[in-house]
Amino acid sequence: MSTLTKPKAIHYKNVFITGDANLQLLLKGALSATGNASRPSLRQQKANDEDTSVVFINKFKEYNGMSFGQLVYLESGKQQPFITVDDDAEFYSISSLSSEKIPEIDDKEKTEAEAAKKRREFLESMLYFGVLDNHMVVMQSSALKTRELEAHLSWLLGTKTSQIDQSTMLVLKDKPAEAVYSKMERKPVKSIHVGAPLTSKIENDPSAAKREPRPVKDIEETHASKVRYTPQGLAASLLKVVAPGLLDRLELDESLDESNLKVALEITYLRKTTRAGQQVIDSLATSLRHNPESDVVINLQGGGKIRGDELKLSGNITVKFLDSGLIDEGVLFHEMHQWLISKISASEVDSNLDGSE
């Protein structure tokens, strides 16, 4: 039996909750057998009432004193495309499979009521996380990032279960490695450079005149609405501040995604600054969250640079996959636990994060 392993990135998060609450204990209370969200069916979050997609914590279990969970994203009634590989065919046919057609794992007959309670759905994406007091380790997926986990935890513990007051703030904070702090202590920050590519989205042009369709015999025509491309993202937000109204006046007829245009913001001081000014720029540099659409460079006094990916404590672990293609969770939880304990032991993170003073 061959074993498939892949390297995966994991990220450390420091959990901040107003009032110094303990996230691990809060989740245990909410998801326990006596909690308000004891089963996955009781803790599914929708974006809105009409949405068929849901996000929820599926499995939640203990390993060596640490709590591990799966954050799951799925959409009911999803159609999954598949391709039929036929070596004799002129082309491979592509079709789709609905979730109702997923084959049963066993041959046990079920009534309609039982089938409605126990149905199969395609899994869109899954994120793994581990919690030890207010330390968190996260392995993200393509569709689920720490932003979605943070939002769901706030909803679950506040709106859904009232474990925390709805006015309470819950934030998953990035923490730079201690080596980054040491570098900045030796050489204070001189300037911060934030750059982002200028991209655009396609949308209907509201200024375009609408034409009434006219029936024409023997000819079938489809008229597309006039569209325009509108700049979006961090770069567009910066431009709106420095050049108000400019983007609204632009009439672009093609995308900016391949334009190689980039907008940059620099925060610096001339020659020297006050102690308060240095404190502001140092604090800003350490608190910057890594944004996937931007490039962050921190320039230090006297030379030296810190790049955005150094502003978060991350690492790589080896993930084992079973023959079914699923992750061997026993190995995963062990690797995540060992990585976190090693960071605490090496004083990379503060060991006293248990929600108490």
Is residue 83 within 8 A of residue 92, CB to CB? The reply is yes
Does pLDDT of 104 surpass 70?
Answer: no
Examine the domain organization and report whether 257 and 157 are in the same domain: no
217 in a domain, yes or no?
no
**pLDDT tens-digit profile of 177-229?**
667 767 777 777 888 877 777 777 776 655 555 455 555 444 445 444 556 77
List the one residue out of 4, 150, 7, 14 whose CA is nearest residue 71.
Answer: 150
Examine the domain organization and report whether 168 and 183 are in the same domain: no
64 in a domain, yes or no?
yes
Examine the domain organization and report whether 17 and 120 are in the same domain: yes
**pLDDT tens-digit profile of 144-171?**
999 999 999 999 999 999 999 988 999 9
Examine the domain organization and report whether 39 and 28 are in the same domain: yes
Examine the domain organization and report whether 150 and 252 are in the same domain: no
Q: Which domain holds residue 189?
A: 179-206+225-311
pLDDT recorded at residue 356: 47
Does pLDDT of 250 surpass 70?
Answer: yes
Residue identified by tokens 């369709």 is: 213
Residues found in the chain = 357
Examine the domain organization and report whether 133 and 187 are in the same domain: no
**CA-based angle 283:278:347, to the nearest 5?**
45
Is residue 70 within 8 A of residue 58, CB to CB? The reply is yes
Examine the domain organization and report whether 102 and 30 are in the same domain: yes
DSSP output for 39-73: SGGGSPEESSTT--EEEEEEEEEEETTEEEEEEEE
pLDDT recorded at residue 134: 95
The structural domain count of the chain equals 2
Looking at residue 207, its amino acid is S
Q: Rounded to whole angstroms, what are the CA distances from 336 to 64, 87, 192, 200, 218?
A: 11, 43, 33, 38, 66
Examine the domain organization and report whether 96 and 72 are in the same domain: yes
140 in a domain, yes or no?
yes
Examine the domain organization and report whether 55 and 71 are in the same domain: yes
Examine the domain organization and report whether 302 and 319 are in the same domain: no
Mean per-residue pLDDT, 62-70: 95
Q: What is the dihedral of CA 306, 311, 317, 319, to 10 degrees?
A: -120
Does pLDDT of 14 surpass 70?
Answer: yes
Is residue 172 within 8 A of residue 136, CB to CB? The reply is yes
Examine the domain organization and report whether 240 and 319 are in the same domain: no
356 in a domain, yes or no?
no
Is residue 43 within 8 A of residue 57, CB to CB? The reply is yes
pLDDT recorded at residue 101: 60
Tell me the C-alpha distance between 103 and 99, whole Å.
9
Burial class of 189 by CB neighbour count within 10 A (0 to 12, 13 to 18, 19+): buried
Residues with Cβ within 8 Å of 354's Cβ and at least 6 positions away in sequence, in order, are 22, 133, 134
357 in a domain, yes or no?
no
DSSP output for 215-274: --TT----PPPPEEEEEEHHHHHHHHHHSTTHHHH--BSS-STTS--EEEEEEE-SS---
262 in a domain, yes or no?
yes
Tell me the C-alpha distance between 211 and 225, whole Å.
9
284 in a domain, yes or no?
yes
Structure tokens given for 67:
């709590």
Tell me the C-alpha distance between 131 and 61, whole Å.
10
269 in a domain, yes or no?
yes
- Least trusted range by pLDDT, from 22-26, 32-36, 49-53, 225-229: 225-229
User: For the whole model, what pTM was predicted?
Assistant: 0.64
Examine the domain organization and report whether 186 and 125 are in the same domain: no
